[in-house]
Structure 1
Amino acid sequence: MAEQNMLMRNFILSLLLLLAAFVSACSTAPGNYLDTSRLKDNQTAPTETYPVTLINAQVVMDQAKSAAAAPQVLPQSRYADPAQYVYRIAPQDILGVTVWDHPELTTPNGSTLSAGGNTTQSVGAALQQPYTTALPGQADPYGQTVAADGTIYFPFVGRIHAAGKTVGELRDQLASGLVRYIRNPQVDVRVLSYRGQKVHVTGQVKTPGPLSISDVPLSLVDAITRSGGTTGDADLQRVRLTRNNQLYVLDANRMLDSGDTKQNVMLQAGDILNVPDRIDSRVFVMGEVKNPIQLTMIKGRLSIADALTQSGGILDTDANPRQIFVLRGMQQNPTTPEVYRLDMTQPDSIMLSTQFQLQPMDVVYVGTAASTTFNRVLQQVLPTIQTLFYLRQLTR
């Protein structure tokens, strides 16, 4: 009997060794795998520690105060008041000149010019449409096109500099030049096509492209509206304005929701306006939740309660409600992020979870209960123990 038991133990030991050899042989089995023999894995445990801030009422109040007091650099406008705005002629603009009682010096009303598409329109229609733009590279033969050096040629007056002047200043200059040939000349000057000064709108708008600056002030909202409005993925909280090689971030939501008109800046020639998508406004929910998910902030706001609710809530049996962590600032400071912890077992935790606002690229992580860790170890060990038990029973 003792000899039979000894044989059985040797059989089981041989079987286990055979299984171990089979597992080690998987590296030579067919299929995709990574050969790690040339990789040097530094298995030294990290020694960094990160301070954790417990989320309480004071932390929430400090967060709200810091968000309200956060400085925002806005671009300086040439005009403090839009009512002071005046358009100045630029090269490539097309001008129409009228000299009363002298049709030979007047831009013909029946002439046509480009309307910025594949059709043409009359001068009279152009005067009623201040945003008219000509086709790229196309000059209108019937108007006075301002040359690249900023000058135009006009009969009896000769070549004069027009760029940088208002239409009133140019009108007075033409009248003073014609006074030697025409008694009391009555002169009028209009811009038939605004082509010299442009703003480029890119990103999440329905019709991106250049917009002409005209005699009507062009603001942030005007530019977005004239570009067809925004798409569904647009992030109006972080509209980017590039001016003179300087980047400014404008919050159009603050203007539309709170009436902060300072965000509705007046645009000027050379500005590049970009409406980004919401990829930088994401929040990640991970850990012991029912549905780990990536969320997009709506109008720049998302609380811990919002994030946990949209992920289906925490797991009833596996999650540790005392360990609701928020990891912040990993893009700017990957080695020293801010770590916050919310204890959901406290009476005021529900209120705090709705008031603590997340920031873009935050990670909400729900910790694992200690009992769950032990149960998962058992789940890994039990199949092996059961296999050995059945083998022993079969060999009796």
Structure 2
Amino acid sequence: MLCLGLSATLLSSACGLPRSGPSRGEIFAGSNFENSNTFVVDVDGRIAQATNIRPGLGFGPAFTGAGRVGSDTISAGDTLTVSIWENVDQGVLTSRGAPTQLQEVQVDGDGDIFIPYAGRLKAAGHSPEALRNIITERLAAQTPDPQVAVARAAGDGATVSVMGDIAQQGVYAIERPTRTLSAMIARAGGVSIKPDVAKITVTRGSSSGTVWLKELYANPRMDIALRPGDVILVEKDTRSYTALGATGHQSRVPFEAQSLTALEALATVGGLQTNIADPKGIFIFRDETPAVARTVLGRADIAGPQRIAYVLNLTEPNGMFVAREFMIRDGDTIYVTEAPYVRWMKTLAALTGPVTSANSIDSLASGN
């Protein structure tokens, strides 16, 4: 009877003891309830492979298929200088030998310019040489054998905006050395954050695309040609996971690399607390996508996102390898349970504590 009474006392005491969260057994038991909407899945090599989904970043064909802007192509907003010589003593604009200088001729929003006696002309999209021929043909009807020169202030109208975590934010001209994304980032002084977590987003009209900075340099197809009006945003990766339970420290942890394994995530927060952690009870709680959930659970009737608690057991022969293969995703919660003996030690301490305190008081009272 004494043993039964002590056991009952231990069990009731254990239920009320402070702890970091549910035990491994409680999580498994909870998933078996009829009204539970959480599945507990033991992770093996197949599960690790099935859940290995990395964020797909990159530019679509609309970006990668665009050619480079010609270094001498005139754009809306450019400023031109037009010089005209006439081969007559009294020409429509000037006399023989004295050129007419039309300074700072602005290409308007429609891409047009106005030249006296030549009228309104389409300039955008042409090279200075092509525009020179067009002006010459128009003026030839007014004055014999006109000579025309067109100069362009490079890049005045062909500009992009660079902002975010960049050394020098600003508006930059697309010139011969800066016609690609990587060259423009370099022109702006480079990124001001760790390259491992830097993302580059380019917005062009109503379309946009995002790429990792490292991918930009590793894959030449991602080093897209820029277009006037592009907006380039450099920002730090915002993904994170939460670490709880018997880990080195409990916190919300940002990703420090493009990909992160469960083993790396645990190491980032100081690993397992060796005095209390249960290496058999490392859980990753996740709202899993329907496609992955169907594969993991082996069920074709899965229609929406599913709550899945993936469990890693580091005591198994391949436990470390599986933890090294299982990828952490944005929003995951990693929870490490306490070892079963810790709960019993807390219970014993709670029971023996009052006895020890009482003995100490008796000793003080008796003067010992």
Fold-level match, TM-score > 0.5?
yes
Q: Which residue of 2 aligns with 1:52?
A: 40
The letter of the residue matching 2:60 is L
Aligned-partner SS, 2:279: strand
Q: Which residue of 1 aligns with 2:336?
A: 366
Is the Cα contact below 8 Å between 2:289 and 2:305 reproduced in 1? no
Q: Confirm or deny that 1:252 pairs with 2:197.
A: no
Distance 1:246 1:301, change over 3 A: same
Distance 1:169 1:339, change over 3 A: farther
How far residue 95 of structure 1 moved from its aligned partner, in angstroms, is 0.8
Q: Which residue of 2 aligns with 1:221?
A: 182
Cα deviation, 1:345-396, whole Å, max 9, x if unaligned, reads 0111122222223223333221111211222344445444444455567779
Distance 1:182 1:300, change over 3 A: same
Cα deviation, 1:83-138, whole Å, max 9, x if unaligned, reads x857653333111224468552246xxxxxxxxxxxxxxxxxxxxxxxxxxxxxxx
Q: Which residue of 2 aligns with 1:167?
A: 128
Distance 1:361 1:239, change over 3 A: farther
Q: Which residue of 2 aligns with 1:95?
A: 80
Aligned-partner SS, 1:153: strand
Aligned-partner SS, 1:366: strand
Q: Confirm or deny that 1:191 pairs with 2:186.
A: no
1:78 and 1:230 mapped to 2: Cα distance?
22
Q: Which residue of 1 aligns with 2:14?
A: none
1:166 and 1:371 mapped to 2: Cα distance?
80
Aligned-partner SS, 2:241: strand
Is the Cα contact below 8 Å between 1:237 and 1:254 reproduced in 2? no
Distance 1:339 1:77, change over 3 A: same
How far residue 247 of structure 1 moved from its aligned partner, in angstroms, is 3.7
Is the Cα contact below 8 Å between 2:282 and 2:334 reproduced in 1? yes
How far residue 330 of structure 1 moved from its aligned partner, in angstroms, is 8.2
Number of residue-to-residue matches in the alignment? 312
**Structure 1 residue runs without a partner (length 5+):** 1-44, 108-141
Q: Which residue of 2 aligns with 1:104?
A: 99
Q: Confirm or deny that 1:207 pairs with 2:168.
A: yes
Deviates more, 1:342-351 or 1:52-61: 52-61
Distance 1:381 1:170, change over 3 A: farther
Q: Return the structure number with greater strand share.
A: 2
How far residue 182 of structure 1 moved from its aligned partner, in angstroms, is 5.0
Task: Please report the RMSD computed on the Cα atoms of aligned residues, expressed in angstroms.
Answer: 3.7
How far residue 237 of structure 1 moved from its aligned partner, in angstroms, is 5.3
2:364 and 2:269 mapped to 1: Cα distance?
47
1:289 and 1:391 mapped to 2: Cα distance?
38
The letter of the residue matching 2:310 is Y
Is the Cα contact below 8 Å between 2:198 and 2:235 reproduced in 1? no
1:369 and 1:104 mapped to 2: Cα distance?
92
Q: Note the 1:264-275 alignment, pairs <5 A.
A: 264-275=223-234
Aligned identity (percent) is: 21
How far residue 322 of structure 1 moved from its aligned partner, in angstroms, is 0.8
Is the Cα contact below 8 Å between 1:234 and 1:276 reproduced in 2? no
How far residue 175 of structure 1 moved from its aligned partner, in angstroms, is 1.2
Q: Note the 1:1-396 alignment, pairs <5 A.
A: 47-64=35-52, 66-67=53-54, 74=60, 76-77=62-63, 80-82=66-68, 85=70, 88-99=73-84, 104-106=99-101, 142-214=103-175, 218-233=179-194, 238-256=199-217, 259-278=218-237, 280-329=238-287, 336-390=306-360
User: Which structure exhibits the higher relative contact order, with contacts defined as CA atoms closer than 8 Å and separated by 6 or more residues?
Assistant: 2
TM-score when normalising by structure 1: 0.66
